[in-house]
Amino acid sequence: MFHVLTHALSWLALQALPLRCLVCFEPGADGLDLCRACHAALPWNDHACPVCALPLPDGEPAVSCGACLSDAPLQTAAAATFVYTAPVDRLIQRFKFRQDLAAGRLLSQLMLQRVPPFLTEPLLPMPLHRRRLRERGYDQALELTRPLAREMCLPLWQGLARQRETAAQSGLDAEARQQNMRDAFAVRFAPPRALTLVDDVMTTGATLQAAVHALQGYGLRRATLWVCARTP
């Protein structure tokens, strides 16, 4: 109850406060808590692998990366709005670990400026384990996804649950991440035939792959991914 009240009060405060750039603290612009100079300097991930959203070097064609060609992932397409670097990395950390709802609101608004062309399916926010949800007070993926679904007039599907609490992925290598996510998800009811999974950050994609794998066992036929940021 305390977390719900805190969330509500924070939301009300956001509506009353003037726009202020969350990066440099200058006045915000264009309806965002971000000034025009900081907006222009954002690390947009506009040149990336269309299957896993991995940022590609300038000059290389935006085609499937070597990893996707040699070992195709379960999704048919993926997009990341940003490369996970400054200042986006700090905004995500503030939103995810410091209850900075203004940062989360800004990130959702910015994601809507780069809507991927494949976005036609219901959106699935990646769920938190219930213990982490109690500790944090909110699910950052859900907070990102709600305004996206609302603005895009897409259904929000929440039939996936995290049934097993896993170790933090940030301290694990690629193989350990895959082992860590094994059987981590449970499907509560049959999914639609196609879904877009939404999350804050994608590193190796092990978490998203585990979720897609679980859903495919219950009838999912086409999965796409949309994340706020992708690590290089």
Tell me: pLDDT of 169 over 50: no
pLDDT in tens, 104-153: 999 999 999 999 999 999 999 999 888 887 888 889 999 999 999 999 99
Cβ contacts of 46 within 8 Å, gap of 6 or more: 114
Q: pLDDT value at position 137?
A: 83
Which residues, listed in sequence order, are joined to residue 48 by a DSSP beta bridge? 55
Number of Cβ within 10 Å of residue 156's Cβ equals: 15
Question: Is the pLDDT reported for residue 53 higher than 90?
Answer: yes
Distance CA 58, CA 60 (A): 6
pTM (predicted TM-score): 0.86
